[in-house]
Amino acid sequence: MKPTRVIVALAVLATGCTVEYDEGGGATDGDYHGEGMGESTDDTKSDTRMTVGAAVTRTCTTSSLAPLSMQIAAEVQCIAPESLQAFSESDGITFVGPSVIPYLAPDGIAGLQNAAIIEGSVQVVSAYRTVAQQYLIYRWYRAGRCGIPVAAQPGASNHESGRALDVQN
């Protein structure tokens, strides 16, 4: 390959997606707001420095993974914009807890908006999940922790592709 072709190829690759992040690691194009997965206990307080392994036994919230999950969601949306789209709280749609990752597949957002119109309100507990979040939820389910009645194995959850959401009502 000629040197000019290499330079042009690198220039094209360098103009790909860029996502701005705040100092805490979260994407600045949207904020995460809530997830109320499981029962509320004294050990649900999140430490953003906590490892995933420690969170398995010490918490009942995926909020310690929220900044990383927001970065992953923003990158997925950037790389494949047709696969995930951001949504926000609006008339009839509210987030429950501190770690809803507000991304879904486009038809999922349309379904959520229609449900909010029909029901009057929808309280979103969980939407898009990264494999790390699903891992925590699955481990809690297997251990009988956090009041989780059922959970898919990591890699097999429709949450990981933005095609599922959990609602409180």
pLDDT tens for the 169 residues of the chain, in order? 555 444 444 333 444 565 554 444 443 333 333 333 333 333 444 455 677 788 888 889 888 888 889 999 999 989 998 999 999 999 899 999 877 999 999 999 999 999 999 999 999 999 999 999 999 999 999 999 999 999 999 999 999 999 999 999 8
Q: What is the pLDDT of residue 1?
A: 55
The CA angle 11-17-23, to the nearest 5 degrees, is 115
Backbone angles phi, psi at 123, to 5 degrees: -105, 105
What's the pTM value of the predicted model, to 2 decimals? 0.71
Looking at the 3D structure of the chain, how many domains does it have?
A: 1
Q: Under a CB-based contact definition with an 8 Å cutoff, are residues 61 and 128 in contact?
A: no
String of b and e for 29-60 (b: at least 16 CB within 10 Å)?
ebebbbbbbbeeeeebebeeeeeeeebbeebb
Question: Range of 131's domain?
Answer: 3-167
Q: What is the pLDDT of residue 99?
A: 79
Q: Under a CB-based contact definition with an 8 Å cutoff, are residues 97 and 63 in contact?
A: yes
